[in-house]
Amino acid sequence: MTDSPSPSRRRLLQAGGAFGLATAAGSLLAPRAVAAAGAAPSTVVTDLGPGLVQFSLMSGLLVGDTVYIGSRNLTPSSVVGFHLPSRKVVSSTHLGAGPEPSVQALAADPTGRYLYIGVLVKADQGRPNLYRWDLKTPDKPAVAIGRTEDRDIRDLAVAPDGTVFAVGGVPGKAPVLWEYDPATGVVTDRGAPDPKATLARAVAATDTTVFFGAGSVLAGGSGASRASLFAFDRQTRTFTSIVPKEMEKDPSLRELAVVDGHLIVGTSGGVDPAKVAVMDLEDLSSYTVVATEGKVVKTFAADEERFYFASETGVHAYSKANRTISPVQFTGPDLGEIWGVDHVDGKLAVVSGYGFVAEIDVSARTSVVTDLHDAGAKAGPQAGMGIAAGRGYVYLGGNGAVSRRDLKSGEVVNLRAPGEAKDAEVIDGVLYTGQYNAQGIWRYSPSARRQPQQAASFPSEQNRPLDTSWDPDNGLLLVGVQSDTEGGGALWTYSPKTGKSASYVNPIDDIQLVRAVANRDGVAYLGGDNASKEGPRATVVAVDPVTGKEQWRLDPQQTAGVAALAVQGRNLYGLTTKGGLFVVDRRTRKVVHSADVSSVSKGFAAMVTNRGAVYGVSDTTLFRFHPKTFAVSTVVADINGAWYSGPHVNAHGGLLYTLRGSSLVAVDDRPSR
């Protein structure tokens, strides 16, 4: 495969991103003492331009002849209207949502006049998260109409009488069924039917009943519930569990739809594949459950003969007559992560996370693909994910894409990769990424002239890679992993030379995920964290990555989980999510230093070794630890990188690469010693 055929996507030469535009540290940082030898320490920050620019999306819904598409991880968040007959973006609206906003929930009222929009954000700032857009006057912006106390809205449904129902969640709280009454403008809490659920992602409604689907696709394990499905009686305001017993072991309910007298149900799979259920609305105890071969079932549509749904492998059809599932076959590109499926006049309108709409003729098995950026959707800089540099390129991960920046020419190419590149390494000029969700390890070689390809797959429940580290002694890529649904995590290993991979499940324990991984002298060091409020965290385990065998472990007596690890000389540095620093002598296996560095780092962080010192980056600051005294110094204050799921920093050729705001920067730091 070649790079994206659209010139605007293939060559994004960023304004103001020329490599030669460097900013001296004197204008950014407080003055520093001159080195004893007389040479002044210096820090030069080079702005390389916006990191990853694209139109990224997270939802799609057909209303009339227009597909409305919600943005993902773009500021400001927006919804655009893609007109199917003309294949053009004909309308758009911006939303005043919070940080790193995404629009996952769209629903239309029965008249087709109003589009309801639900937003999820990374931090709650008390803003509205429920909006309404009058599609009769699309030139006027959507209006904020309310707020659910669950920070994120993951799904919306409108009952035939126009009442709106919303579900979602907020960390540490059971998800609630929320009701919005258009007549009064009031948002009402209708209760949390599953106190052990961590997230609700599905809702559907009739005149009499609301169906609420939840589970623990995030923060699973530690007693969290599995797939749950409740019927809420709108008159008595009571909940009744109706989850099919065949679905009870799945991690979460993923999708619900009311179609032709039936409730259609889809789950997210974990150890077992995801499932589809077709339930009779007149008798919910009468149903059919069919297992799929995939990990997720979402975005339902229907014609007279079939129900359609999306999985991570494409679009599938459930035969109403035979009660069997088969893939929808067509000539066309990989659809990637699918966020919308609708049926009209024998065609499926499929909204791809790669930023295009595919119109699939079901009978002819053909397709027409329209790139949304080319059709008029406005691209913007995304909050970044993993970052890596090597052989003249810097790579930055995002949603459904990895940007590749040529450090000589400034050319930027957006490569397609499903899901999210959470972290990455360049090994002998080849990029390797840890791909969420449950995508394993992906590989990209600039010389191969094709898009990234999967290099290794792993059990689907080990779904969230968090940190990567290259082990040159054993020739292994090491990946620390979290299991969202089961709790705990894993250490993945992959040999670029042989192509062999291995997964060591729960190398710390069955509660702690592997938040951080570092290595030296053929030993892998794993840092533990815990997605739940209770239980152990911050355990450090030394492992032989070839065999997975534990060599030793240490409890550094921290009050928060490990955010990052790095090795310099004989010392292993650890940083916690509350800004605690601890240093372990790898030979004596004892903590030799600890300090509070929360002035520069709180929350997630990353560390890397460069020029004989350990550097770290937080949401606010790029900093450095003295290799002998371990004292922390600010390198770039107020760096405020726009990161989607925790900051990252990578070192290559003596330079540090990270984000300052939404711009990629190269930092040349030369401290005094």
Summarize pLDDT for 106-116 with one digit per residue, the tens: 999 999 999 99
- What is the per-residue burial (b if ≥16 Cβ within 10 Å, else e) of 128-148? bbbbbbebeebeebbebbbbb
User: pLDDT value at position 572?
Assistant: 98
Contact by Cβ (8 Å): 100, 398: no
The residues facing 468 across adjacent strands are: 479
Q: Is residue 673 very low, low, confident or very high in pLDDT (cuts 50, 70, 90)?
A: low
Q: Is pLDDT at 229 greater than 70 in this prediction?
A: yes
Summarize pLDDT for 407-432 with one digit per residue, the tens: 999 999 999 999 999 999 999 999 99
Amino acid identity of 16?
G
For the CA atoms of 287, 291, 294, 298, the dihedral, rounded to the nearest 10 degrees, stands at 0
User: pLDDT value at position 427?
Assistant: 98
Mean pLDDT value across residues 312-317: 96
Summarize pLDDT for 337-369 with one digit per residue, the tens: 999 999 999 999 999 999 999 999 999 999 999
Summarize pLDDT for 234-286 with one digit per residue, the tens: 999 999 999 999 999 999 999 999 999 999 999 999 889 999 999 999 999 99
Q: Coil, helix or strand for 9? A: helix
User: pLDDT value at position 298?
Assistant: 97
Q: Is pLDDT at 73 greater than 60 in this prediction?
A: yes
CA atoms in the 13 A half-sphere facing the CB of 279: 25
CA distance 120 to 101: 6
| Residue with more model confidence, 46 or 217 | 46
User: pLDDT value at position 4?
Assistant: 32
CA distance 229 to 51: 41
Q: Coil, helix or strand for 375? A: helix
The residues facing 525 across adjacent strands are: 518, 542
User: pLDDT value at position 311?
Assistant: 96
Q: Is pLDDT at 35 greater than 80 in this prediction?
A: no
Taking CA atoms, 180 is separated from 145, 166, 281, in Å, by: 9, 8, 24
User: pLDDT value at position 13?
Assistant: 34
CA atoms in the 13 A half-sphere facing the CB of 370: 20
Q: What percent of the chain has pLDDT over 70?
A: 94
Q: Is residue 533 very low, low, confident or very high in pLDDT (cuts 50, 70, 90)?
A: confident
Q: Coil, helix or strand for 184? A: coil
User: pLDDT value at position 26?
Assistant: 30
* Mean pLDDT of the residues in the chain: 93
User: pLDDT value at position 2?
Assistant: 29
Q: Coil, helix or strand for 245? A: helix
Q: Is residue 664 very low, low, confident or very high in pLDDT (cuts 50, 70, 90)?
A: very high
